[in-house]
Amino acid sequence: MRPERLTPSGAHPNNRPSAQPRPGAHDGWAAKAPARTARDRARRELSQNFLRDAETVHRVVRAAALGPDDLVLEVGAGEGPLTVRLAAVCRAVEAYELDPRLADRLRARRAAGGPWRRVRVVHGDFRAAVPPAEPFAVVGNIPYAITSDVVDWCLRAPGLTAATLVTQWEYARKRTGDYGRWSLLTVRTWPEFHWRLLGRIDRRRFRPVPRVDSGLLRLERRPVPLLPAPDAARYRALVEYGFTGVGGSLFASLCRRYPTDRVAAALAACGVERGAVVGHVHPDQWVALFRRLEPPAESRRRPRRAAPRW
């Protein structure tokens, strides 16, 4: 009798498992994901991730360091957990919300009285808001998609005292030098604004849960700028020139604009190595370099000649 033939796996050839059909392959339909509702689409379009954790809400309010006489503009009020906490510690809150459904819900809550009486709900895009004439602060759990626009708005608003913003973790680290590098925007605005990273917020504190963690970013206008107003434009011009990266190092870039010995002396006095790239230079060192490379604006003005006496 001939021995029974086995497959390499040890199974009898007549006992091989038959191929299983894919689900939906032969029944005339294919499995589909549930259709997105209008609410789902709105959340995606408006980049809505609501802050639901009470401890984190308190943390944001504490970081804002508000007083009873302060006016606050809130970016993206959403369902209002941060709104009511802000209203409890300040004079008035202007809550901006682009979603009409949420804006109506926020207005309805004013009937509850208490801190809600100090809230004015604005249905609209915060980026189109006209800055108040009086001093004010900005606070918000801002949509990741418009972070740069909101920050630019804050920097341009003359009455802004401070902005306390929940942003994407990577953005907050980038703007505050937490990667060991400094961005052009931070260095340009450093004489007027102090940028601080106040910690990380776990993504599980939000609903729906976003893909990345958030950071608590604090932007404060300095009571007294590090440079006088007449020098501001020249400082920005120096920074923008240095960030062009011409020559591969800050020393090489500045030598195209100033005498080499003068640049070398300025870098040494400010503690900047010759081979340092622009991103590794601290904003305070940029201010110090400007003071050494550029004469004060007042000294650049030529004195008027006295009228001759006859």
Give residue limits of the domains in the chain: 45-221, 229-296
Q: Give the pLDDT score at 210.
A: 93
pLDDT of 250 higher than 90:
yes
The Cα 36–Cα 16 span in angstroms is 42
Class of domain 229-296: mainly alpha
DSSP state of 211: S
Nearest of 189, 70, 208, 206 to residue 139 by alpha carbon: 70
Residue 297 — very low, low, confident or very high, per pLDDT cuts 50/70/90?
low
Closest to 237 measured CA to CA, from 252, 222, 253, 224 = 253
Mean pLDDT for 274-296 is 94
Fold of domain 45-221: Rossmann fold (3.40.50)
Between vectors from CA 203 to CA 153 and to CA 33, what angle results, nearest 5°? 105
Can you say how many angstroms the Cα of residue 232 is from the centroid of all Cα atoms in its chain?
A: 23
The answer to whether 23 and 31 are in contact (CB under 8 A) is yes
Instruction: Tell me the pLDDT tens digit for each residue of 85-117.
Output: 999 999 999 999 999 999 999 999 988 899 999
Q: How confident is the model at residue 255 (pLDDT cuts 50, 70, 90)?
A: very high
| Binding-site residue positions | 49, 51, 76, 97, 125, 141
What 3-state DSSP class applies to 179?
coil
pLDDT classification of 246: cutoffs 50, 70, 90:
confident
Check residue 70 and give its pLDDT: 98
- Beta carbons within 8 Å of 107's beta carbon, 6+ residues apart: 121
- 17: confidence class by pLDDT, cuts 50, 70, 90: very low
Pull the structure tokens for residue 171.
Answer: 């953005």
Selected residue with higher pLDDT from 208 and 44:
208
**Comparing 45-221 with 229-296, is the CATH topology the same?**
no
Q: What is the pTM of this model?
A: 0.81
**pLDDT tens-digit series, residues 18-73:** 444 444 444 443 444 445 454 444 544 445 788 989 999 999 999 999 999 999 99
End-to-end Cα, the chain, rounded Å: 141
Contact 215, 201 (CB under 8 A): yes
Indicate the length of the chain as a whole number: 310
Which residues does 304 contact at the CB level (< 8 Å), separation at least 6? Answer: none
Token readout for 268 is 């040494």
SS3 77: coil
Residue 3, pLDDT > 60, answer no
pLDDT, position 262: 96
Residues at the binding site for S-adenosyl-L-methionine are 49, 51, 76, 97, 125, 141
